[in-house]
Amino acid sequence: KAGVTQTPRYLIKTRGQQVTLSCSPISGHRSVSWYQQTPGQGLQFLFEYFSETQRNKGNFPGRFSGRQFSNSRSEMNVSTLELGDSALYLCASSFARANGLINEKLFFGSGTQLSVL
Amino acid sequence: QQPVQSPQAVILREGEDAVINCSSSKALYSVHWYRQKHGEAPVFLMILLKGGEQKGHDKISASFNEKKQQSSLYLTASQLSYSGTYFCGTFGEGAQKLVFGQGTRLTINP
């Protein structure tokens, strides 16, 4: 069974640009979560999608948005990039149930390393 | 609210034991533990549910003290392969999202 696939692996952008990251979950998984990872900050929750609906959202500005398609693939978009957006962006998929991820194992992708110059 | 992990970093020799703690200021439904090796994706270790349970496999185990809103991860007779950053994630009461701590970097030397 293929794992969680994130593309691209690396991205270099300049301030003010926008970027779209892609995540293909494990087949059959309906939930996709996105996290931002920076040194010393751990994994900061961005949002979670379940059956094409945003189920939960973290404390990030509106420049960060996402969506999920009917095949469970998900995209994350960051507009008007800032230097502080440089980070590793991880997505994680889970089979999930309607009542959330309380007892669900997450499968992480290898991430997209975004550098903003 | 982000759980707090301690210590932030620890260096051990192979065969020594380690304990990593995870504390929350809120009541918890569950605690999740993951390990991330350098340059790799985080990998699931275990989930502990509300009820004060203890879990373990091989030489890695964990406990969950519901009253103290704390969990501890125990690594006994550590092996070189245990090196990496350990993250705890928590589901608090009323929350619908898994929030991770800042991580504990574990280095095992021969």
Rounded to whole angstroms, the Cα distance separating B73 from B64 reads 9
Out of A45, A107, A110, whose CB is closest to B98?
A45
Out of B30, B32, B97, whose CB is closest to A45?
B97
Q: Which two tokens stand for residue B4?
A: 């707090």
What is the model's pLDDT at position B58? 74
pLDDT of B67 over the 90 cut = no
Name, of A40-54, A88-102, B75-89, the range with top average pLDDT: B75-89
Q: State the Cα angle at A113 between A32 and B32, rounded to 5°.
A: 45
Quote the strand ranges of chain B, DSSP E: 4-6, 9-13, 18-23, 28-36, 43-49, 54-57, 60-65, 70-75, 84-92, 99-100, 104-109
Better-scored residue on pLDDT, A2 or B47: B47
Chain A residues 37-96 with CB within 8 Å of chain B: 40-45, 48, 55-56, 58, 90, 92
pLDDT in tens, A3-40: 999 999 999 999 999 999 999 999 999 999 999 999 87
pLDDT of A101 over the 80 cut = no
What is the model's pLDDT at position B97? 85
